[in-house]
Amino acid sequence: MLILAIETSCDDTCAAVLDGPRVLANTISSQAAAHAQFGGVVPEVASRHHLELTAPVVEAALGEAGATLDDIGAVAVTAGPGLIGALLVGVSTAKAIAAPRRLPLVPVDHLQGHVAANFLEPDPLEPPFLCLVASGGHTLLAGVRGHAGYELLGQTLDDAAGEAFDKVARLLGLGYPGGPALEKLAREGDPAAFEMPVAMSRDPGLDFSFRCLKTALVYLCRDLGPEGVEERCADLAASFQAAAVGQLVAKLERALKRGEWQAVALGGGVAANGALREAVTALCERRGIQLKLVARELCTDNAAMIGSAARFATPIEYPAYLAYDAFPTRQNPADGPIRQGGLDVSARRGAV
Ligand code: KG4
Ligand code: ZN
């Protein structure tokens, strides 16, 4: 039987159909244009768009896979973390598809999904491996020892890497979404043009921080003035990107120096960044470590990664999931291993 997966945690409405690790369809409807006028994601606008888009996107994915709902054996859905209204649309849709057919529902942790993109064909990566997850909402180093769950080895103490890309892009007048636009502009600039603070370089741990980098850019832009910023924007973008990538790679290298990991993988929207991919490739070549780089469309939000994580997560049978709730923040943000699939299903079943 096939898995139907739905992802609506932020501003992309996504559905996928999987046959084991094989992706038969991975449909994404981006709402970027709807949010661009506001310079960022407006949660209420995202929820309303998901409401309109989820059914057609699911239909499109089934069509592309050459499947119908009769071929589906389980419905997977991102349950959190993310925008609560957006998540609720996905979870309600998944319940509405699963319940009449008495199909199991598989709630999936979004971050586990980013890790699980590496389990998809072609060339699925087998644990153990070290995974850097860098998205718009999270930045963390995951020690992946099995297909479900991971050990949190380090995480950002303030902004996420993608959030920093988005904020700096906004400062440079690049609009939303900022990461890809900033990467494009950085190609024309000199990464050594401006000296950037190297955050957390003296911290012996594996945590990240991007706030001081963002603040440095704010002051640089203020000192340069609007005309100066316009003139030097490619250099500013390149210098920021080099510093952000430098920190991500430095922490990866520090984790690798502990000698435990023989393979590295990336996940999350920032993993689509060419400069990061090149720097991690060079690091892994230098250290003789296996590197898995999934296709860019599997780095940014998509439902195929949710279906992949669902293969190793705990399904909830009908009717228990009717009372299941989405969760907006990471379940165990303190630290420590994330439970199976990132979810403690039993605690969330509630009465039905
Ligand atoms: O994983 P993702 O699609 O959504 C979240 O879970 O947040 O990540 C989105 C983030 C955004 O901050 C976006 O600007 C960033 O990933 N991003 C990039 C690139 N593509 C997406 N950042 C840098 N370079 C890129 N090419
Ligand atoms: Zn994501």
pLDDT in tens, 76-86: 999 999 999 99
Distances (CA, A) of 201 to 132, 134, 157, 206, 263: 17, 18, 14, 10, 23
Closest ligand (CA of 11): 1
Average pLDDT, integer, range 12-39: 95
Ligand 1 atom closest to the Cα of residue 160 is 12
* pLDDT for 134 beyond 50: yes
Average pLDDT, integer, range 25-47: 92
CA of 232 from ligand 2 middle (Å) equals: 31
pLDDT given for residue 114 in this prediction = 98
Q: Could you tell me which residues come within 8 angstroms of residue 50 by beta carbon, excluding any fewer than 6 positions away?
A: 8, 13, 86, 89, 90
pLDDT class of 188 with cuts at 50, 70, 90: very high
* pLDDT for 17 beyond 90: yes
Ligand 1 atom closest to the Cα of residue 299 is 1
Q: What is the DSSP letter of 134?
A: E
- For residue 245 and ligand 1, the question of a CB distance below 6 A is answered with no
- Render pLDDT for 319-345 as a digit per residue (tens, 0 to 9): 999 999 999 998 754 433 334 333 433
CA of 5 from ligand 2 middle (Å) equals: 15
- For residue 8 and ligand 1, the question of a CB distance below 6 A is answered with no
pLDDT given for residue 40 in this prediction = 87
Ligand 1 atom closest to the Cα of residue 178 is 14
Phi, psi angles (nearest 5°) of residue 104: -70, 150
CA of 342 from ligand 1 middle (Å) equals: 21
Q: Cα–Cα–Cα angle for 73, 78, 84, nearest 5°? A: 140
CA of 82 from ligand 2 middle (Å) equals: 9
Instruction: Decide the pairing of beta strands 139-144 and 151-155.
Output: antiparallel
Closest ligand (CA of 245): 1
For the chain, percent of residues with pLDDT exceeding 90:
87
- Ligand 1 pocket: which of 12, 87, 165 to mutate (most atoms within 8 A of CB): 165
* pLDDT for 155 beyond 60: yes
Neighbours of 226 (CB within 10 A): 9
Q: What is the DSSP letter of 20?
A: T
* pLDDT for 92 beyond 70: yes
CA of 159 from ligand 2 middle (Å) equals: 15
Ligand 1 atom closest to the Cα of residue 12 is 3
* pLDDT for 143 beyond 70: yes
- For residue 177 and ligand 1, the question of a CB distance below 6 A is answered with yes
Instruction: Identify which has the larger pLDDT, 34 or 291.
Output: 291
Per-residue tokens: 3: 């898995």
Three-state DSSP state, 289: coil
CA of 138 from ligand 2 middle (Å) equals: 8
pLDDT given for residue 346 in this prediction = 34
Q: What is the DSSP letter of 156?
A: B
Strands across the sheet with 290-292, in order?
A: 151-155, 139-144, 129-134, 263-267, 290-292
pLDDT class of 201 with cuts at 50, 70, 90: confident
Ligand 1 atom closest to the Cα of residue 82 is 6
- For residue 81 and ligand 1, the question of a CB distance below 6 A is answered with no
- For residue 26 and ligand 1, the question of a CB distance below 6 A is answered with no
Three-state DSSP state, 293: coil
pLDDT given for residue 176 in this prediction = 84
- For residue 240 and ligand 1, the question of a CB distance below 6 A is answered with no
Closest ligand (CA of 181): 1
Instruction: Pick the residue whose CA is nearest to atom 2 on ligand 1.
Output: 269
pLDDT given for residue 122 in this prediction = 96
Q: What's the CA gap between 271 and 180, in Å, rounded?
A: 11
pLDDT given for residue 334 in this prediction = 42
Closest CA to 4 of 32, 27, 37, 35: 27
Ligand 1 atom closest to the Cα of residue 300 is 3
Closest ligand (CA of 10): 1
Q: What's the CA gap between 142 and 205, in Å, rounded?
A: 14
Instruction: Decide the pairing of beta strands 2-7 and 72-80.
Output: parallel
* pLDDT for 285 beyond 60: yes
- For residue 164 and ligand 1, the question of a CB distance below 6 A is answered with no
Average pLDDT, integer, range 279-300: 98
CA of 220 from ligand 1 middle (Å) equals: 24
Average pLDDT, integer, range 299-310: 98
Ligand 1 atom closest to the Cα of residue 135 is 8
